[in-house]
Amino acid sequence: MSHAPAFPAPPHGATERAMVRGELRAMIALAAPLAGANLIQMAVYAVDVIFVARLGPEALSASSLSVSLFGLLMWSMTGLVGGAAPLIAAELGARRHAVREVRRTIRMALWLAVIAGLLVMAICAKGEALMLWTGQQPAVAARAGPFLLILSLATIPNLISAILRNYVSALGRAGIATAITALALVVNTLGNYAFVFGHLGAPAWGLEGSAVSSVLTSLAMLAAYLWVIRSDRRFRRYRLFGRWWRTDWPRFADMLRIGLPIAATILAEAGLFSGAAFLMGRLGEAELAGHTVALQFAALAFQVPFGIGQAATIRVGLAYGARDIAAIGRAGNVAIALGIGFMALTALIIWAFPRTIMHLYVDPDAPANAAMVGFAVQFLVVAAAFQLFDGAQAVAGGSLRGLQDTRIPMAIAIFGYWVPGIGTAVYLGFFTPLRGFGIWLGLAVGLVVVACLLLWRWRNRARLGLLPA
């Protein structure tokens, strides 16, 4: 059974306004479940913190450090295998029956997932040594090592699930990703409940039990995707795992060409915020705590434009494969407007109700939290200001990925985040009285520079030769 063309010819007399409305409906239908899956994934991570926090500060520190390292590696490798998304979209946009092309792309993406996963596992095997090298306390490093080793077993299942998520989303069934991520939330909650404290007849493995729960959750997600793909006739017709041993090195090279810059871009952006945390820690515990709380809400709000950016990659990629220049412009412009519009709403909420937001994380009226809350409210003011640019850079980057343009956006990200971004943060944070507020201004500067340059590149896509012939 074939799917309908992504960009059917408009009926006679159709107006551009009607076509934009149609694109808006298609974009929302794709972006909403992807954003929902991102938000649920945040809840999956939060479950680990809730259970491990009851084991004490040492266990929580070991878990937080390990998850930070593992998350950075996983996020970047997900970007690496995510190079398959624009390729799949372009193949489907070019031909409705691109069964062989999609199968070959998925096959080589799976190869790449295994190779990247083994690399991550090798790094995680040196977890304790890495913790000691970064100056962590020996007791915390000793607990982090075994935890990280177990957690690394989730790498390959997670990467394969990410590839299959792109596959079902490109075929217009992104709601499946939301449902499977919701399943992951349930499995992880039950797993932590069982293996951390020994409930439901399971052994009480403490900190390591939380890592076991994460591994089981990754396997449950992968099993769910495999079951859906095998059960649905539309997915099954692509025979994704047929002749999995056959190589297609040119396609593998294409994925590296697109995926490696995406991974580097993710590392650059993650490095900006991780670096800011280290800078904040040098100022004091209250500043670091306020930074952590404010960043948690900013990260929560970011999941929506991040989902819109993922949808933009697919919608722009479909139009790119169809060589429909007008549809490329509509898809990207609608996505950018949607992302900025949502972040404008969150900016207004932050400006109007900063202390209400604090109630999501701590008691702002408790005297013990006074200093931390004061810093967090200051930082939220800056977060409100950069929401528009954070949303813009996420969606503009996703739109450019749909054009398979990733190398120059990578250079923009590395420059913007690490030269004006971190440079401004260091100067204002340590050489002016602004301190933590100055560090957050540095974050804003980095986001503004990257957003403006990516938007400029999108607007000038034709002149820069990014469009199909």
| DSSP assignment string, 361-417 | TS-TTSGGGHHHHHHHHHHHHHHHHHHHHHHHHHHHHHHHHHTT--HHHHHHHHHHI
Tens digit of each residue's pLDDT (9 = 90 or more) over 247-270: 888 989 999 999 999 999 988 888
Distance CA(325)–CA(284), nearest Å, equals 52
Q: In percent, how much of the chain has pLDDT > 90? A: 50
CB of 225 within 8 A of CB of 162?
no
Q: Which of 137, 130, 120 is nearest to 60 (CA)?
A: 137
Is the pLDDT at 1 greater than 50, yes or no?
Answer: no
CB of 116 within 8 A of CB of 80?
yes
Query: Which pLDDT does position 12 carry in this prediction?
Result: 46
Is the pLDDT at 444 greater than 70, yes or no?
Answer: yes
Is the pLDDT at 397 greater than 50, yes or no?
Answer: yes
Residue 125 has φ and ψ, to the nearest 5°, of -65, -20
Query: In angstroms, how far apart are the furthest CA atoms of the chain?
Result: 72
Tens digit of each residue's pLDDT (9 = 90 or more) over 300-335: 888 999 999 999 999 999 999 999 999 999 999 999
Distance CA(297)–CA(289), nearest Å, equals 13
Mean pLDDT check: name the lowest of 113-117, 185-189, 210-214, 273-277.
273-277
Distance CA(447)–CA(418), nearest Å, equals 10
The better pLDDT of the pair 208, 97 is held by 208
- Which uninterrupted H or E stretch holds 457? helix 436-459
CB of 443 within 8 A of CB of 294?
no
Tens digit of each residue's pLDDT (9 = 90 or more) over 124-133: 998 888 888 8
Query: Which pLDDT does position 329 carry in this prediction?
Result: 95
CB of 387 within 8 A of CB of 350?
yes
| 3-class secondary structure per residue, 136-154 | CCHHHHHHHHHHHHHHHHH
> What is the average pLDDT across 93-116?
87
Distance CA(265)–CA(261), nearest Å, equals 6
pLDDT band at 3 (very low <50, low <70, confident <90, very high): very low
Distance CA(383)–CA(424), nearest Å, equals 16
Three-state DSSP at 100 gives: helix
Highest mean pLDDT among 272-276, 303-307, 351-355: 303-307
Distance CA(68)–CA(85), nearest Å, equals 25
Distance CA(260)–CA(302), nearest Å, equals 23
CB of 437 within 8 A of CB of 378?
yes
